Amino acid sequence: MDTTLDDPLVGRVLDGRYRVDARIAAGGMATVYRAVDTRLDRVLALKVMHPALAADAAFVDRFIREAKSVARLAHPNVVAVFDQGTDGPYTYLAMEYVSGCTLRDVLRERGALRPRAALDILEPVLAALGAAHRAGFVHRDMKPENVLIGDDGRVKVADFGLVRSVDSVTNTTGSVLGTVSYLAPEQIENGVADTRVDVYACGVVLYEMLTGAKPHPGGSPAQVLFRHLNEDVPPPSAAVPGLPAALDRLVATATARRPELRPHDAAALLGLALDARAQLGDAELDAVPPQARAEERTATEDRTSVIPRLVALREEPVHHTSRLAAPPIPDPDPAADRRGGHGGHGGRRPRRGTLLVIAGVLLALGLGTGVWYISAGQFTKVPNLLGKTEEQARDQLSAAGLGVKRVDRKFSDAFDRGTVMNTDPPGGKRIRGNGSVTITVSRGPQVIAVPDLKGKPLEAAKAELTAAGLAPGIVTQAFSQDVAQGSVIGSDPAGGQKRAPDTAVSLVVSKGRPVPVPNVTGKPVDQARAALEGLGLKVETAPGQVDSPSPAGTVAGQSVGAGAQAAAGDTVTLTVSKGPRQIPVPDVTGQDADAARKALEAAGFKVKVDRPFLSFSNTVDSQSVPGGQSAPEGGTITIRTKGL
């Protein structure tokens, strides 16, 4: 049923500027409309926050943050944000309107895609996210619904409403935002969201494009979350036999359950995607997949949700009472505790922290109430220490009857300096009551001193930057009196300044001392060549010759003008003259001398008037080149007036 007519915003003009024409889509936090900017007369999309949420300062801040963040990206594969404002109870974003469909629409209609089509969609998505990651932002809600495919084939990433600054991403104890089918394990378990959660979600989206189904379907969101925490994403070829191993490896790398095993951001994953494509032939890229089975899922599985994460649970045993069938939970196994993970790229046993998360999801989504039975006895649960100071962590471990085995210190971009970034065993794991825990404390973001590259050859400078953990950036050239040609004059940031790993460092490379270019126009070609080569310049002659006032065989023009500065080894191209152009001479005999002069000058000649002694006539008696004959353009024609 079309509810557009019942929408109070359709037909209104928001903020005296945006005329709302139709509703496009509605979500849990906002509704998107097609609108017209009446000032600029262009169609755009208006994302309007639900009025009930506008009173929540956190949601309003998120809206404003989205506008500012996306406005800074200015990337062709990111849906642009033009404006942000408020009109009464309505808070809105004015965004680029993309006429087309979403990737979800494509998957519903077609099922599994050919590998070439999947990569054609994935690569611009990764390019957009890579730009966001390098600008310091994490999307946090990547899914097919947020991938727009325009009628012209362009792919754009939308809905940066959950965007967060990479620098501000830390462990949270309140809630997790996102869509259950695409949440990374660390989002579910600890609330940690850095660039690698987007990498994980893109791996899930790639799996879905290649197979037509999600890797971890379930009868409820809780079951989906449980599988993301405890099961590896299967290889796509298991669902679609014949898919190349390169695509299996790409999905496995992107969806590693341990974030440190994934590419560090979308730009790095894009490089792997391009490598995978290069390994495939046309037959593999264009292989038609079999019709994927229809996938069953709950209505909330594709919806962005706010999922509380429970951080405490009573220790006494209770009975499980729930309307939902829950995955079986194995009893604690001390031997397994000692063994650690069990295969895969990040495998691990279900932990009590996992069970708490799932219980929280059940409560948050209104799908039933209940708790899991937890056996008590000689084992103690390791407290969740992530984000705590070292002193707080020691106190909590002591209160739980546990000791500190050792303290490691590592760099981290996600955790503040001095806070706990990891524990072994991890939080939620059950260990013997007198056990000890290794804690890893953040040393803060790792910074690298930019090396002093002045005077070093360009390739050597690039190699030194790469070895230091930085990235060679844009290279420009400039003249230098003291730095040899091809060597580095300076860098930005300058040598000695400290930057985060992978920061791009732009380089200025010397063109050597400037060489003033002389004027060789009108000189014989051999003479001009000798003069230029004597200054260290290379000389080429243009093919063919041109008409020119300069004599034939001389230089008619030069590619680098006289007085300009060039570098040693630069090439100057000379254009050779074939002499003046021959043009017809007008017949001006019998004409008044002044009129004759004008006629000849208009034809392209210079004019000289010869008047005989004691001649009082102004009539042309003769001309040096008879009318009808040709003469060099720019040459001089002499006209003589009648004598006595």
Q: Which of 494, 510, 526 is the last residue of a domain?
A: 510
The domain of 415 spans 379-445
pLDDT at 66: 66
Q: Check residue 238 and give its pLDDT.
A: 95
- pLDDT of 636 over the 80 cut: yes
* Residue 346 belongs to some domain of the structure: no
The pLDDT assigned to 296 comes to 39
pLDDT in tens, 590-628: 999 999 999 999 999 999 998 887 767 889 999 999 999
Mean pLDDT of the 364-386 span: 50
**pLDDT at residue 432 is higher than 80:** no
pLDDT band, residue 361 (cuts 50/70/90): very low
> Is 141 an annotated catalytic residue?
yes
In the chain, the percentage of residues whose pLDDT exceeds 70 is 81
pLDDT tops 90 at residue 61: no
When pLDDT is cut at 50, 70 and 90, the band that residue 304 belongs to is: low
Domain co-membership, 554 together with 535: yes
Q: How far apart are CA 22 and CA 18, in angstroms?
A: 12
**Statement to judge: residues 22 and 107 lie in one domain:** no
The pLDDT assigned to 55 comes to 76
Tell whether the model's pLDDT for residue 281 goes beyond 90.
yes
Nearest alpha carbon to residue 231 among 214, 249, 215: 215
Q: Do both 231 and 146 map to the same domain?
A: yes
Residue 232 contacts residue 248 (beta carbons within 8 Å): no
pLDDT at 273: 96
Question: Are residues 66 and 116 located together in one domain of the fold?
Answer: no
State the sign of the Cα–Cα–Cα–Cα dihedral 199, 203, 206, 208.
negative
Integer Cα distance of 143 and 162 in angstroms: 13
Counting the structural domains of the chain, the total is 6
* Same domain flag for 497 and 530: no
Query: What is the pLDDT at residue 365?
Result: 38
In a domain, 566, yes or no: yes
Find how far residue 170's CA is from the centre of its chain: 23
Q: Are 518 and 536 in contact (CB under 8 A)?
A: no
69 shares a domain with 140 = no
Is the pLDDT confidence value at 475 over 70? yes
53 & 159 share domain: no
Residue 303 lies in a domain: no
Residue 529 within a domain = yes
pLDDT in tens, 234-255: 999 999 999 999 999 999 999 9
Domain boundary among 554, 575, 596: 575
The pLDDT assigned to 170 comes to 38
Q: What's the CATH code of the domain at 435?
A: 3.30.10.20
Q: Which of 141, 159, 194, 232 is catalytic?
A: 141
Quote the pLDDT of residue 379.
62
pLDDT at 244: 96
Mean pLDDT of 367-394: 64
What's the pLDDT band for 163 if we cut at 50, 70, 90?
Answer: low
- Which one is predicted more confidently, 242 or 643? 242
417 and 495 together in one domain: no
Q: Please give the pLDDT value at position 205.
A: 98
The answer to the question of residue 12 being in a domain is yes
Q: Is residue 470 in some structural domain?
A: yes
Give per-residue pLDDT as tens, 166-204.
444 434 433 444 578 899 999 888 877 899 999 999 999
* Domain finish residue from 510, 527, 549: 510
According to the model, what pLDDT value does residue 162 have?
52
Give the pLDDT of residue 168: 42
Q: Quick one: pLDDT at residue 317?
A: 29
CA neighbor of 112 nearest in space, from 252, 238, 265, 273: 238
CATH of the domain at 270: 1.10.510.10
Residue 7 domain flag: yes
pLDDT at 291: 59
Residue 329 Rama label (left phi>0; alpha psi -120 to 50; beta) = beta
For range 438-457, the mean pLDDT: 90
8-34: average pLDDT = 89
Q: Which of 263, 427, 248, 231 is nearest to 345 (CA)?
A: 231
Asked if residue 530 and residue 467 are part of one domain, the reply reads no
Q: pLDDT by residue (tens digit) across 495-522? A: 999 888 888 999 999 999 999 999 999 9
User: Are both 384 and 406 inside the same structural domain?
Assistant: yes
Average confidence (pLDDT) over 412-417: 80
Q: Is 583 helix (H, G, I), strand (E, B) or coil?
A: strand
Q: Is residue 52 domain-shared with residue 142, that is, in the same domain? A: no
Please report whether residue 315 resides in a domain. no
What pairs with residue 18 in β-bridges? 14, 37
Stretch 450-457: mean pLDDT, rounded?
A: 95
Q: Which pLDDT belongs to residue 461?
A: 95
Mean of all residue pLDDT scores within the chain = 81
Residues 180 and 130 in one domain: yes
- 8: domain CATH number? 3.30.200.20
How much is the average pLDDT of 44-73? 79
